[in-house]
Structure 1
Amino acid sequence: MDSPGSLFQDDPDIKVMTAGSTLRKVKSRLWKKQRHFRLLEDGLSIWYKSRWLGKGHSTFSVIEVEAVREGHQSEVLQSITDEFPADLCFTLVFHGRQGNLDLVAESPEEARAWIRGLRKLIHRAQTMDEKQRLDQWVRDWFHKADKNKDGKMNFKEVRKLLKMMNVEMNEERALHLFTMADRSQSGSLELEQFVLFYKMLTQRDEVWRVFQDYSGDGETLMLEELENFLSVEQQEGEGSARHARELMERQEPSGTAKKQGTMSLDGFQMYLCSPEGSIFKPDRLGLYQDMSQPLSHYFISSSHNTYLMEDQLRGQSSLEAYIQALKRGCRCVEVDCWDGSDGEPVVYHGHTLTSKILFKDIIATLKEYAFVTSDFPVILSLENHCGVEQQTVMAGHLSKILGDTLLRNILDGRTNPQFLPSPQELKGKVLLKAKKIGGAEGSPDGTLTDDNSDEEEMANGEALHAESLNQHEKSKLSRELSDLVVYCKSVHFRGFKSSPLHAKYNEMSSFAESKAKRLAKEAGADFVRHNVKQLSRIYPSGLRTDSSNYNPQELWNVGCQIVALNFQTAGLEMDLNDGLFAQNHRSGYVLKPNFLRDNHTTFNPEKPQEQPGYKPMRFSIQVISGQQLPKVNQKEASIVDPLVRVEVYGVPQDQAKEETSHINNNGFNPVWNQTLNFVIHTPDLALIRFVVEDYDKTSKNDFIGQYTLPFTCIQPGYRHIHLLSKDGTAIPPASLFVHITISKFT
């Protein structure tokens, strides 16, 4: 395979990058250090070092970079605008939670060369197929292990490399494969020979056995044999003949085999490792749901304390946190507003040491990034601690910066609406969620009585400073700000008995997690019916000062739409959120099952078997093998002892976990061949999480990787599960190979 660098070898921008440049790395207004950056020969690695640090250097892969931003587009670079003009500055944004890299070039031409060159290489890296990614991964390891940079490795170096790659193998077998790959009999392997050695090393016996089951001659799959495999094993039924032809055309690397209408073992393995061979149904990845139902009929990806990058006591407030949440598909962001000292409202976590950012800067960021990932509406959840004067300033910023993007009036042609409009009708709009003057909660003069004091404010741990609030004092709302609230009017929850009689479709309540969980358990069916028409927002307890999260599943079970999580905190809860919203084009909106949308529903998650049309499913997973699992401990001699756990999240009856035994000293190609069985009582609400851990008998197992998806999006048959890191980012080529059977439970 040509390296990405060789594809652009005559490109002037890549030439600048390969030659190298001295760029300033900027961490703050005061920390600006010169570093020498250059693109390595593989065309995918950026190497940099200080001239004064001797041998010390760092590298990162272009694959890790999500985007390049030009000019002063980060808070750090904005702080030095007086020192360095925009045409010298650029920012590298990495996938996951890795911090940005802010750089300043010595000339505008050099900055442009790096920006253009990086963008070309990022695009190339993003469009590589599975085989190219795997080849690149092998090449990266070769370059990493080739310490003296002579382009060759002897057997001792190869054995060391195998340990780095998480392989513990028999020395005799390793030497045998090394000798076979060393065709020149020089006692060392060059890059292409190492790739051959690696391919022999990774011969997948388990894939070969499946291939043999369907191949008549044991060498190839005829068209009918592939069609038979797709129909019997992959349960594709109709359309498998057409799909078989398409797969041969797309996945078969041999031109001869293609002409003969056959598929080789290589082509078969490439299909199984491709997105089509993945566990996630391809047709559920696109926008496949009806988007014309009322907003209350959807789960909405929602963030809490969106402005924070870390914890709630000392963490940095940052515009970058909004950008990351919005790019991750979040459709409800939170803004915590306080009076600023110079008349400009500021956003931070009140009564703590978190840093402050200007409200108007957040709105400008929202304007730029709100609809990059999804066209569907964004709800701006306002926690308002400002006086009337600065509330009016906020209203001015919202109107001026957002312009037509801000929804200010009920949609045309709706004289007496009874339901919220749909995501489709609200495309490209920002909706303000806040209190509103008038009605039962407030008097026409803008006064709000304290019985409607923000429940959230108290539950957010701010009860500690309740004495600073005069409980009998009346709070005032700015008329200008109030007028911008249309469909998301914050009201105090009056109870389930009252809501069907008095609640208006545009009124919504916020619940602390503990209250919401109690209501879900004690009055599940009532909560479900309430959420058919009303929006509910759930937020983490104020006691979670470390920005930890609660499990969102039990709130989704009762139809709560806006289940807000701390997006900045990795872990199980964000895995579930990412898993649920991975479907439907990652639009941030997922249509709730019909039993959570029906006005007359009797569904209660505590008693799923009482639901009309109750159809439990049997779910069986044969965990066959793992491929190239990443190391947990970076020490060279340390090799993982992996096990796989399958976890089911859903209604209480569906909560379950089963795990395989662990395999000693093999993260490279462990084979389990163990079957785990489950019964799923409410398939439409279930999420399945696959977790790989490094077994440790004396302490807690270390996390290796995970993958989470809705049960309804699972493809049966032989499938690969491409693992994700703790941050939810891909860690190619790490995967699991499984066989899945889904059938009716009788």
Structure 2
Amino acid sequence: MKRQRKKTGPSPQLVFTDSIKSKEHNYVQTDIDMSLHAMEDGSYFIKVKSANWKKTRHVELSRDHLNLHISHQSCGKSKYSIVDIKKISEVRIGHQSPIWLSLGRHLPKVEQCFSLVIEGRESPLNFVAMTKESAELWTRGLQHLSANLENLDIKGKQLLWVWDCFKTADKDRNGKLTSKEIKRLLAKLNFDAREEYVERLLKETDDSGDNCLSFDEFSDFFKKISWRPEIERIYKTYCDADLKLQAKELARFLHHDQGMSDVSDETAISLVQSFEPDEKLRSSNVMSIYGFMYCFVVTTR
């Protein structure tokens, strides 16, 4: 009589509770706008750090599509961390990160796994989605967002820089800036503008009349307080044939036109790194008209 071989089940997988599954949307839409909308609603994942560290996390895309909010419960309180999408350098689909190899027989299904490589972090963020469709939705959406941010033109990156300023100043996260918050931001950026001039611009750009500025209103305010025709003329005097300002020419402008005797090329490079919104130009130590506008306001007080 043949001995029957004992049946063995499949390799153990990460277990997802029914309560979590019930909250997970089974998104299959191919339209990217629908995908981004679904990402705003958020999804549950298992965040994996090691074979012994696997935690449930809720991840959602911010309404401005610039950040991921990763939340969890700790001691009965909800806590969350923020991942800047601009800092996502790579979206790895499947088992492309070293962590997955360490899980052995507990390795999750490849189609449900992905990893995010973040600038400034030693190791990637590793996630297991509840379904294959959810993993595809998030990896597709994140790749789309990263590509869009990378391909922004200078004007788009300038607007993104203004948005970052707005978020920094919006301490109570209500989507509006008070006069006090705006003046505090201007001081932080070293904008040296007269009190009455700032107040006049605040009134001019407060279209809603609620004594606060929304982002659109703040963007208009910021443009008016920093953009001056005479600065554009100066910029064109010193920039090259491609209308880009080299760091050495910026140093020459500060020395000859502004009387700053101790300005070195290193100082000019530092200013480019501080004020230029375009990452590619920053890496080449070149300043656009937008970076020059901000730099001019700050350094020529």
Q: 1:520 maps to which residue?
A: none
More helix by share: 2
What is the distance in 1 between the residues matched to 2:139 and 2:267? 38
- Quote the offset at 1:119 in angstroms: 0.6
Partner of 1:201: 225
Q: Are the aligned partners of 1:94 and 1:100 in contact in 2 as well (CA < 8 Å)?
A: yes
Matched, 1:12 2:30: no
Match of 1:186 in 2: 210
Mapped to 1, the partners of 2:218 and 2:31 lie a distance apart of: 24
> 1:622 maps to what in 2?
251
Contact 2:232 2:289 in 1 (8 A): no
Determine if the alignment matches structure 1 residue 674 to structure 2 residue 252: no
Structure 1: how far apart are the matches of 2:174 and 2:36?
A: 23
Alignment TM-score, normalising by the size of structure 2 = 0.68
- 1:497 aligns with none
Match of 1:382 in 2: none
1:148 deviates by 4.3
Q: How many residues align?
A: 259
**1:400-457 deviation line (CA, Å, top 9, x unaligned):** xxxxxxxxxxxxxxxxxxxxxxxxxxxxxxxxxxxxxxxxxxxxxxxxxxxxxxxxxx
Q: Residue by residue, what CA displacement relative to the aligned partner does 1:568-625 show, whole Å, maximum 9, x if unpaired? A: xxxxxxxxxxxxxxxxxxxxxxxxxxxxxxxxxxxxxxxxxxxxxxxxxxx8763546
By how many angstroms is 1:196 displaced? Answer: 0.5
On the 8 A contact 2:178/2:211 being kept in 1, the answer is: yes
> Kindly tell me: are residues 58 and 623 of structure 1, through their superposed partners in 2, closer, same or farther at Cα, counting changes over 3 Å?
farther
Instruction: Tell me if 1:82 matches 2:49.
Output: no
Q: Which residue does 1:70 correspond to in 2?
A: 93
Query: Following the alignment from structure 1 to structure 2, what is the Cα–Cα distance between the partners of residues 77 and 163?
Result: 47
For residue 68 of structure 2, the aligned residue among 46, 51, 54 is 46
Which residue of structure 2 aligns with residue 113 of structure 1? 137
Q: Does 1:139 align with 2:139?
A: no
**Aligned pairs for 1:93-172 within 5 A:** 93-95=117-119, 99-163=123-187, 165=189, 167=191, 169-172=193-196
Tell me the amino acid that sits aligned with residue 270 of structure 2: V
Confirm or deny: 8 A CA contact 1:50 1:57 kept in the other structure.
Answer: yes
Deviation (angstroms), 1:92: 0.9
Q: Which amino acid aligns with 1:196?
A: D
- Which letter maps to 2:251? Q
Q: CA deviation at 1:117?
A: 0.6
User: d(CA) in 1 for partners of 2:123 and 2:155?
Assistant: 29
Structure 1: gaps of 5 or more residues: 1-7, 212-228, 237-270, 281-618, 626-659, 661-670, 679-686, 694-703, 708-719, 739-746
The verdict on how the C-alpha distance between 1:677 and 1:204 changes in structure 2, with shifts beyond 3 A counting, is same
Retained in 2: the 8 A contact 1:95–1:729?
Answer: no
Over the matched positions of the two proteins, sequence identity in percent amounts to 27
Asked if 1 retains the 8 angstrom alpha-carbon contact of 2:238 and 2:253, the reply is no
How is 1:362-441 mapped onto 2 (pairs within 5 angstroms)? none
Distance 1:42 1:117, change over 3 A: same
What is the Cα deviation at residue 28 of structure 1?
A: 2.6
Relative distance call for 1:729 and 1:180 in structure 2 (3 A) is same
1:221-232 matched pairs, under 5 angstroms: none
Query: Are residues 59 and 97 of structure 1, via their aligned partners in 2, closer, same or farther at CA, if it must alter by over 3 Å?
Result: closer
Q: In the alignment, does 2:113 pair up with 1:60?
A: no
Q: TM-score, normalised by structure 1?
A: 0.30
Q: Distance in 2 between matches of 1:60 and 1:195?
A: 24
Q: Look up the match of 2:44.
A: 22
C-alpha displacement of 1:96: 5.5
Question: Aligned partner of 1:57: which letter?
Answer: Y
Distance of 1:10 and 1:672 partners within structure 2: 49
Task: Return closer, same or farther for 1:173/1:31 CA change in 2, 3 Å cut-off.
Answer: farther
**CA, structure 1 residues 621+137, in 2 after alignment: closer, same or farther (shift >3 Å)?**
closer
Following TM superposition, by how much is the alpha carbon of 1:100 offset from its aligned partner in structure 2, in angstroms? 2.1
Whether contact under 8 Å (2:269, 2:285) holds in the other structure is: no
* Unpaired runs of at least 5, structure 2: 1-29, 296-301
| Cα separation, partners in 2 of 1:167 and 1:23, compared to 1, 3 Å | farther
**Please, what is the CA RMSD of the aligned residues?**
4.2
Give deviations 1:1-34, integer Å, cap 9, x for gaps.
xxxxxxx986332133111012222223322222
Query: What amino acid sits opposite 1:69 in the alignment?
Result: R
1:76 maps to a residue whose letter is I
Structure 1 Cα separation of the partners of residues 274 and 213 of structure 2:
32
**Alpha-carbon distance change, 688 to 145 in structure 1, aligned in 2, over 3 angstroms:** closer
Report which of the two structures shows the higher radius of gyration computed on alpha carbons: 1
2:238 and 2:249 in contact (8 A); partners too: no
Which amino acid in 1 is paired with 2:260? Q
Secondary structure of the corresponding residue to residue 104 of structure 1: strand
Equivalent in the alignment of 1:177:
201
Q: Distance in 1 between matches of 2:149 and 2:249?
A: 36
CA contact (8 A) 2:112 2:135 kept: yes
Residue pair 2:275, 2:292 contacting (<8 A) in 1 also: no
The residue type paired with residue 216 of structure 2 is E
